[in-house]
Amino acid sequence: MPKKYHIDTQETPPRFYPVGKYTTIEFREDCAGSCRECVKKKCVYGIFEDNFLHNSSMKEPEFLYTCMSCFRCVQECTKGIFSRVINPEYRTLGNNYWTSDIIHRTWYQAHTGSIPVSGAGYRGPFVGKGFDSMWTDMSEIVRPTRDGIHGREYINTCIELSRRPAGLAFTDDMELAVDVPPILEVPLPILFRQPDFGILSRKVLLSMVKAAAIINTFMLINPKEIKEDLKPFLKNLIPQMTKDNYADYSDLIIGCRMVSLAYQPGIEQEFAKLREINPDIFIMVNIPLDKDCKSIVENLVNTGVDTLYCYTDENGLELNTDNPRFVKDMTREIHLALVDLSARQRVNLIIYGGIAMAEHVNKEIICGADGIAIDLPLLVAMECRLCGRCLEGLSCPVKLEEMDVDYGCARIINLIGAWRNQMLEMLGAMGLREIRRLRGEVGRSMWFEDLEKENFGPIFGERKVAAI
């Protein structure tokens, strides 16, 4: 029996004191000083005892990085000297999409390898923009045998990156009468991508590539970056080339399992030339997600390409337009176009853009993707604050360029391990045992736009949709 896929994680504390969400303020002059056991020692999460750098940095106010916000200390202090407020610096992290909560949650997962839990529960809005306007069906959550990471049934997260045959035919003696193309599988629907943003020292890049190799996924990368230190990981790299320069990288094409070509008109004419260099090579085409993406995908589906890689900007917004749509809506449009052509089973669809949390992976697959690609979560896992100082030529507050490769690799593996566990929890709650069955299953979801139109449209009319 094949070994079950598993991601081994290990606690990897941060190198620098993270920006904590909560600030604890104590009016110590009112402290009784005679309590048998201070509420700090009774913290069920051990925050005051184990909080990173807490004991060596007794500053006031205290910034608590791993506080679970249960507020027990505030409620049970006999003198009521505790108060809890949001750390002002915390509010400055990230931007409108990559919010401080997302960054903080990513740090926690990269640190512990665990699913983030809040002692106060979810306290935010129940609908928002983008993926927050979409809910998933959890009706099977009561079945203990399918309880995600704790259940007895194995949930498969494997996807293919190779082209699939349209059908099988057999001879009279039950031998295959058609040629079955080779299969390229990846054990989870998450690929890495070289970021366009941030400190990209060799240590940062090597950390990402090494993590991809350990968890057995792929990383999209500029071929110019593949020097001797990355050659040992060539089987897990997808060089991103163009039809004008791929001939300069024949040695990489021979050593890699998959290459990626940027879309240009007539790109399909290069596929045969690529396979002359390496007959076993799998081919991916990069297509910007804009108004022309759908027609390009429809034209490429019958050309022998294995995977279509469609990308938005880092916030998941459509490219080359003044009124951009969100990635989930465009993915749905492309998926349905391929279904209408009876071509959805032939090629794979990998989407980049706006994937900031584990739940976004499953939601994007529900919209019709086979898998996704990420980059910024990898930087955040290595303590990046998305502050943008590097874009202005200023120093990095967490010195990413000096980071140890094994440390960065461990943090990324922890993050992906935590993400996969959350994906398994969602799949188990849906009653699914395979991630591939989730693709395009909108019946497993509810969309705010549809619910509002069905329930309030007859009363108030159609909502005028503003740009995201």
pLDDT score of 9: 95
pLDDT score of 87: 82
Summarize pLDDT for 177-186 with one digit per residue, the tens: 777 778 899 9
Rounded CA separation 100/118 (Å): 15
393 pLDDT above the threshold of 50: yes
Strand pairing report for 190-193 and 219-221? parallel
In this prediction, residue 285 has a pLDDT band, given cuts at 50, 70 and 90, of very high
pLDDT score of 53: 46
The tokens of 453 are what? 């139109």
Whether 236 and 186 have beta carbons less than 8 Å apart is answered as no
Phi, then psi, of 261 in degrees rounded to 5: -115, 135
In this prediction, residue 210 has a pLDDT band, given cuts at 50, 70 and 90, of very high
In this prediction, residue 29 has a pLDDT band, given cuts at 50, 70 and 90, of low
Summarize pLDDT for 70-105 with one digit per residue, the tens: 778 888 888 777 777 888 888 888 889 999 999 999
Q: Which residue has the higher pLDDT, 318 or 387?
A: 318
Whether 415 and 110 have beta carbons less than 8 Å apart is answered as yes
pLDDT score of 428: 86
Assign 89 to helix, strand or coil: helix
What is the residue-averaged pLDDT of the chain? Answer: 87
The tokens of 168 are what? 């099988």
Characterise 25 by phi-psi region: left (phi > 0), alpha (psi -120 to 50), beta (else): beta
Summarize pLDDT for 245-282 with one digit per residue, the tens: 999 999 999 999 999 999 999 999 999 999 999 999 99
pLDDT, average across residues 353-371? 96
Summarize pLDDT for 37-73 with one digit per residue, the tens: 788 777 877 777 655 444 444 445 566 666 777 778 8
Phi, then psi, of 231 in degrees rounded to 5: -60, -35
Q: 69-73, 214-218, 324-328, 348-352 — which is least confidently predicted?
A: 69-73
Q: Which residue has the higher pLDDT, 70 or 217?
A: 217
pLDDT, average across residues 216-244? 95
First to last CA, the chain: 48
In the chain the domains, ranked by start, together with CATH numbers, are 22-92 (no CATH), 159-452 (3.20.20.70)
In this prediction, residue 301 has a pLDDT band, given cuts at 50, 70 and 90, of very high
pLDDT score of 83: 79
Summarize pLDDT for 416-441 with one digit per residue, the tens: 999 999 999 899 888 888 999 999 99
Query: What does the angle CA 108 – CA 111 – CA 114 come to, to the nearest 5 degrees?
Result: 65
| 279 contacts: CB under 8 Å, gap ≥ 6 | none
Summarize pLDDT for 105-140 with one digit per residue, the tens: 999 999 999 988 766 666 667 788 899 999 998 877
pLDDT, average across residues 445-449? 90
Whether 382 and 110 have beta carbons less than 8 Å apart is answered as yes
Contacts 24+ apart (CB under 8 A), 123-128: 127/448
pLDDT score of 54: 46
Report the predicted TM-score, pTM, of the whole model to 2 decimal places: 0.89
Rounded CA separation 282/271 (Å): 10
Helix axes 293-300, 327-340, angle to 10 degrees: 40
pLDDT score of 465: 60
Characterise 129 by phi-psi region: left (phi > 0), alpha (psi -120 to 50), beta (else): beta
pLDDT, average across residues 372-376? 97
pLDDT score of 86: 83
Whether 64 and 47 have beta carbons less than 8 Å apart is answered as yes
In this prediction, residue 283 has a pLDDT band, given cuts at 50, 70 and 90, of very high
167 pLDDT above the threshold of 60: yes
pLDDT, average across residues 15-26? 79
Phi, then psi, of 206 in degrees rounded to 5: -65, -35
What proportion of the chain, given as a percentage, has pLDDT over 70?
A: 89
Question: Is residue 69 within a helix (H) or strand (E), and if so which, with residue range?
Answer: none
User: How far is C-alpha 256 from the chain's CA centre?
Assistant: 24
